[in-house]
Chains A and B, each alone.
Chain A
Amino acid sequence: MGWIATWQRIKQNPMNLNRWQTFKHNKRGYWSLWLFSGLFLLSLFAEFIANDKPLVVRYNDSYYLPVLYDYNELEFGGELDIPADYRDEYIQEIILEQGDIWWPLIPFSYDTFNYDLTVPAPSAPDSNNLLGTDDQSRDVLARLIYGFRISVLFAITLTIFSSIIGVAVGATQGYFGGRIDLYGQRFIEIWSGLPMLFLLIILASLVQPDFWWLLGIMLLFSWMALVDVVRAEFLRGRHLEYVIAAKALGQSHRAIMFKHILPNAMVATMTFMPFIFTGALTTLTSLDFLGFGLEVGSPSLGELIKQGKNNLQAPWLGITAFVSMATILVLLVFIGEAARDAFDPRKGA
C-alpha cells in the first residue's frame, strides 16, 4: 500500500476523525498550531525575509537573483574580481545607475555586521534595526528569525529520531518481554544515570560541536523518554485477543507489532511528542547559553539570552530573547495539551 492510501486509511478511521474534531474543539491549541506552523513556514524562507543580499537586481535590463546565486562584482561593472557586496554603497550606486535593487524586508542576514551605526554597539531599536543590534552590531531581528528556524529544525529532527528509536526499543522490550525486557530495562537505568551535560562539555573540548554532533549526542540520551510508555502498551497489547488471533493466522512478529499493537502505542507516543519537542528546544537553548552549543557566530536563541545577560544596559536583547522563548514554549505547550486531550480516550467519543 502506498503512502497516500495509508494516509487515506488513517484519515478515514472514525476514531481519528473524532480526535481531530476534539483537537479542533480546543480553540487555544488549534490556533496555536496554526500560528506556530505559520511562523515556522515563514522562517523556512528566512533568506527571503532577512538577508544582506537583494532579492532581485535589475541591471542593464537583465534580472539577477543574488539570494540564490553568487555574482561577481565585475558583472555589475565593478573593478575587483570578488563576489559583489551589495551593502557597499559603491556597488549600490553603480547598479542603481543602470537599473534597480529590490531588498528583502530586513536588509540584514544573521551574520551581517552593520558598519553604519552612529552609536557604539549594541544599539537600541530604530527604524533601521527594528529590534536593535547586539554587541557585535548584528541585527537582532534577523538573528531571531534564523535562530528560531535552527532551533525548531533541531527540535523536530531530534523528536523524530528519538521517537523512532524509543518506539522501536520499547516495542521490542514490551513485545518479547522476558529476558530482553529485563536486560533492556537495566541498561536504560544505567544509561540514564550518565550525566549528559558533562559528556557534552568534555566533547565540546574535543570537537567543535555542530548541528549534527549536538543532535547525535543528545539523541544518545533523549530516546529513553518514550521507551517506558511504549513498552507498557506492548506488554498489555501482546495479550489482547486480536493479537493472539493474528498470531493464530500466522502473522509474523514484525507485522503484529506494527499493524496490531503499534496503533495502540501511538496514542501515548503522540501525546508525548510535543513535550519531547519542547524539551529538545530548551536543551539546545540552554547549551547555547552556556557556550557548549552550536559553533560561534551561528544564530541561536540561547546565544541571544547570553548577550542579554552580558549587556544589561541594552534591555532589548534580554527582552527579545525572553518574549520569543516564552511565546514559542507557550504555543508548543498549548498544542501539546490539545493533542493530549484529543488522544484521551475518556474525552470525545
Chain B
Amino acid sequence: MSKTKSISAAEPKQLVLEVNDLSISFGQQQVVEQVSFAIEKGKTFALVGESGSGKSVTALSILQLLPFPAAHYPAGSIKLMDKEVIGKNHTVMQALRGNSASMIFQEPMTSLNPLHTIEKQISEILFLHQGLNKKAAQCRCLELLELVAIPEPKKRLGSYPHELSGGQRQRVMIAMALANEPDLLIADEPTTALDVTVQLQILELLKSLQAKLGMAILMITHDLNIVKHLADDVGVMQQGKIVEAGSVERIFSEPQHAYTKILLDAEPQRDMPTLIRTKPLLQLNDFKVWFPLKKGLWQRTYDHVKAVDGVSLQLHQGETLGIVGESGSGKSTLVRGLLRLIESEGDIYFNGTNLQGLNLTAMRDYRQSLQIVFQDPFGSLSPRMSVRQIIAEGLEVQGQHSDAEIEIAIQQALIDVALPAESLDRYPHQFSGGQRQRIAIARALVLKPKILILDEPTSALDRTVQKQILDLLCQLQQQHQLSYIFITHDLSVVRAVSHRILVLKGGKVVEEGETEAVFSQPQQAYTQALLSAAMCFN
C-alpha cells in the first residue's frame, strides 16, 4: 500500500496541517473540545460525525472563517504549514485563504455567483493571489477546467452557473479551489447534494487530483461510504470531541468506541416479512404529468416538459414500492400528481375508484387514505402552529369528530411515533430534525391512511436518526398494514425497506421488479450504472 511506502521513503513526512487541543466556544457555550489531528502532505483525513458534532466549525476555524468575536478559542493551536493561524489578523488570513488552503462547500447551487461567468469567477482568484493579467488568467482557467475534466472547457468559460449541471458546478468549485495549488483542500460535504453517479465521479476526480498535485485533503462528511472510499485516516466526532481516530482500515474493521460502532451499525438492514399480494390497492395506468411551455403574445403552448411520461404502477396492501431515480427524474412530480396536487393525465385507481376527474369536494373523502411525508422536516411543518394543531388539522378538516375524539386520536398518534406527550404544546422549531420527521409522520398517521407516500423521508437526517425513522416506518407498516410508496435516491435505504422497486429516468420507467431481483440482476444499462456507482461505496 502507498502508506507503507511513504513512511519508508527517505524524505521526512511533512505535516500540512496540525491541530492541537483546539477548543472553540460561541459565547459561553463550548462547541468543540480539545480536538487534535494532523494531516501529512498527499494524505486525506476525514472528520465524520452527525450534524451539530462540531466538524464544520473545526474546518471553518482553519481558515478563521467563524464570526469573530462571537466565536473564540479558549485553548489550542492550528498550524498551517508550520504557521500558527489563530489570532492572525485579516490581511494575513486573506493571503492564506484560497492560497495555501482552500475550501469546497456543500451546495454548488449557492456557492457560485449566478451573475458572473465561470471564467470571471475563476479569474478573480488568479487576479487576487497571483496578479496574472487577463490573457494569462484565461489560459490558466482553461487549464484548470481541463484538470477537473469538464467537457468542452473552451465553451464553458463563458457559461453562467445555471447553464451547468450540479456535478459540473461542483467541478468548477473544485477548479476554483485548486487555482492556486493549495497545500490543503478542505472539502465540506462536497458530494452530499449530488446524485450517486455524479458523487462517484467527483470523488474519483478528487482522488486523481490529489495524486497529481500532492495536496492534503481534509474531508468533512457524515457519509461513511465516502470515508471508506477516499480517506486514509478518520476522526469520529461526537458532541465536539474526537471520540476515536485512526486509519480507515482499523476504524472499519475494529471500532473501539461505542459511538463509532453505532455509526457503523446504522447502515439500514433488510428485515421484512413476506407479503401476500391480493388485489392492487392503487393502480396507475399510463400516468402523465406534462407542463406546457408557452410563448408569444397569446401564450400559445408549443411544447411540453414531460416530467412524468406514461408511468404505470401497482401497489398492494402492506407493500412498499421503492421509486428510485436521480434528481429531475420525476419522482416527486409523480407522487404529487397521483395525490392530485398538480394536474395530471391517466387513470388513478384507488380501491377500484378512479380518482382522476373527481372534483375538490369528492376528492376530500379520499385524501385521508392517501397521505404524504416530505423530505425536509424543517419546511413541512408550519412554524406558527403548535404540534397539537399540526396533528389535529387533518381531523378537523374532516369535521366528523368531537374535540374529545380528536384529542384521543392525537395522543395515540404521538404514542405511535414514540414522541413524549408533553410535545403537544410546543412548536416545531423546538424539535430536532428526526423529531420533526416523527411529527410529520404523526400528522399523516392520525388520519389512518391506507397509503403513505414517503418523499425522501430520511435524506435530510443523520445516519443514526435515519435508521430510527426507518425502523419506526417498518414497525408502523406491520402494525397498521400500511402501503408505502418510498421515494429516495439512496439505494441502500431502498434496498432495506422496499418489496419492489421502480427505476425512473426522465419521467419514464426504466426498470421495475422485485427489489432483490433488480439489485442482483439489473436488466437495463441505466440501472446497472446506478447500482455500480452505489456499489462502489458499499
Contacts and interface: CB of A to CB of B under 8 A. Distances in A.
Interface of A: 13-15, 240-242, 244-252, 255, 259-260, 263
B336 interface: yes
A13 B382 CA distance: 12
Contacts of B447: 249
Contacts of A241: 374-376, 379-380
Contacts of A246: 382, 393
Contact of B379 (A13, A242, A263): A242
22 contacts: A13-B384, A240-B379, A241-B374, A241-B376, A241-B380, A242-B380, A242-B382, A244-B336, A244-B372, A245-B372, A245-B440, A247-B341, A248-B370, A248-B371, A249-B367, A249-B393, A250-B367, A250-B368, A250-B397, A251-B393, A252-B397, A259-B393
A249 B427 contact: no
Contacts of A13: 384, 427
Given A242-B381, A248-B370, A249-B371, 19 more contacts: A13-B384, A15-B427, A241-B374, A241-B375, A241-B379, A241-B380, A242-B379, A242-B380, A242-B382, A244-B341, A244-B374, A249-B368, A250-B367, A250-B397, A251-B393, A251-B397, A259-B385, A259-B393, A263-B382
A153 to B, nearest CB: 32
Nearest to B364: A250
A246 B381 CA distance: 10
A260 B380 CA distance: 11
Nearest to A248: B372
A250 B444 CA distance: 12
Given A13-B384, A255-B397, A248 B341 contact: yes
Contacts of B379: 240-242
A182 B340 CA distance: 24
Contacts of B383: 15
B455 to A, nearest CB: 9
Interface residues of B, number: 30
Nearest to B375: A241
B363 interface: yes
Contacts of B385: 259
A255 B397 CA distance: 9
A13 B386 CA distance: 9
A263 B376 CA distance: 20
A249 B397 contact: yes
A250 B384 contact: no
B156 interface: no
A15, A241, A247, A251 — most chain B CB neighbours (10 Å)? A241
Interface in B320-338: 336
Contacts of B381: 242
A260 B382 contact: yes
B339 interface: yes
A339 to B, nearest CB: 18
Nearest to B394: A249
Given A250-B364, A250-B394, A251-B397, A245 B380 contact: yes
A246 B370 CA distance: 12
Given A240-B379, A263-B384, A245 B364 contact: no
Q: Which 4 pairs show the lowest CB-CB distances between chains A and B? A: A250-B367, A241-B380, A249-B394, A250-B364
A15, A248, A260 — most chain B CB neighbours (10 Å)? A248
A contact face: mostly helix, strand, loop, or mixed: helix
A19 to B, nearest CB: 12
A104 to B, nearest CB: 47
Nearest to A264: B384
A189 B379 CA distance: 34
Contacts of A263: 382, 384
A245 B363 contact: no
A251 B390 CA distance: 12
Contacts of A255: 397
A248 B341 CA distance: 7
Interface in B383-436: 383-385, 393-394, 397-398, 427, 429
B443 interface: yes
Contacts of B370: 248
A267 to B, nearest CB: 11
Nearest to A250: B367
B382 to A, nearest CB: 5
Contacts of A259: 382, 385, 393
A214 B11 CA distance: 90
Nearest to A263: B384
Contacts of B429: 14
A266 to B, nearest CB: 9
B443 A245 contact: yes
Interface in B254-291: none
B491 to A, nearest CB: 24
A254 to B, nearest CB: 12
A230 B77 CA distance: 51
Contacts of A247: 341
A246 B447 CA distance: 13
Contacts of B382: 242, 246, 259-260, 263
Interface string B20-50: 0000000000000000000000000000000
Nearest to B381: A242
A248 B384 contact: no
A251 B398 CA distance: 9
A216 B390 CA distance: 40
B492 to A, nearest CB: 25
Contacts of B364: 250
Contacts of B394: 249-250
A33 B443 CA distance: 41
Contacts of A249: 367-368, 371, 393-394, 397, 443, 447
Contacts of A248: 339, 341, 367, 370-372
Contacts of A252: 360, 397
A140 B127 CA distance: 70
Nearest to A13: B384
A14 B367 contact: no
A252 B341 CA distance: 12
A240 B341 CA distance: 13
A248 B332 CA distance: 14
Interface in B59-98: none
A246 B336 CA distance: 13
Nearest to A247: B341
Nearest to B368: A250
Contacts of A245: 372, 374, 380, 440, 443
A331 B379 CA distance: 38
B307 to A, nearest CB: 15
Contacts of B374: 241, 244-245
Interface string B172-199: 0000000000000000000000000000
A245 B444 CA distance: 9
Contacts of B397: 249-252, 255
A240 B336 CA distance: 13
B410 to A, nearest CB: 14
A205 B117 CA distance: 61
